[in-house]
Amino acid sequence: MRFWTWLIVRLLLALVLVGWVYSYLFLPSSGEREFRRTLEALKKVDSIHFSLMGDVPAQHSEQQADLVCSDDSFRRQTHIIAHQEGKDYSVDMETVRTGGKDYQLQPNGTWKRGYSGMESAKATCQKLAQGAANWIVPDFAELLQHSVIEKGSKKTLNGDVCREWLVTYRRGMTLDHRSICIGVNDHLPREVIDPGTATRWVYAFNIPTQIEAPTNLVPEPVTDTYRPPAPTLTLSDEKDDR
């Protein structure tokens, strides 16, 4: 009886060991599985709100933006305090894009048509839908290939519970570390902290957002394209009598 009991125990231990080795070698880690879920979840978003804060010795920067995929629109507000020669200089910028037109806020509170310099919301949303690299969220496909992902603890941000994932990414000869907190229910990123660039991103997704064109526009100059004919030409169809 003891022999058979010991044999069964050994067989069970062997099966557990084989299962552990198989999962370690062939199955993705919990971090990899979560990042793949995030890639799929990002393909289905329609709107993104984010706030960004960065602090480096030369300047402090804050930014808030909304991007809506369904109507190719975005709104971005930027506040920068530059530290130069013991003095602080403040810069505020606001840009709106909607209806295929870009608007920039002027210092006097009016708006002016002008090129924003930002990638269109439509182009950004296409990259999200394809799982391709983009400027608004981390490149999760790249992180899956070249990072070590460690599971962290849960926390609550703006009423949503997310789990931190500690990412170590090799960039050239250096190691890049960042913390990414992903929603436990929808698998979308809630927070990204990058100590290397001293930045913190906070996200909210699929919040009903409407971005409208500003009404107090600076009048655009009227361009007169009419040019009078040269003196040697005539506008008459009549032929001279000879």
Task: Choose the weakest-confidence range: 1-10, 125-134, 138-147, 188-197.
Answer: 1-10
Which is more confidently placed, 116 or 58?
58
Residue 143, SS3?
Answer: helix
Return the CATH fold of 29-131+138-205: outer membrane lipoprotein receptor (LolB), chain A (2.50.20)
Residues 6+ apart with CB under 8 A from 181: 155, 157, 162, 163, 164, 165, 189, 190, 191, 192
Write the single-letter amino acid at 179.
S
Interior angle at CA 177, CA 171 and CA 182, nearest 5 = 120
Task: Give pLDDT tens digits for 85-113.
Answer: 889 999 999 999 999 899 999 999 999 99
Beta-strand ranges (E) seen in 85-211 are 87-98, 101-105, 111-113, 147-157, 160-171, 174-183, 189-194, 199-205
Whether the pLDDT of residue 16 is over 60: the answer is no
Domain boundaries, the chain: 29-131+138-205
Of the candidates 49, 34, 47, 44, which has an alpha carbon nearest to the alpha carbon of residue 187? 34
Q: How far apart are CA 242 and CA 240, in angstroms?
A: 6
Which is more confidently placed, 198 or 21?
198
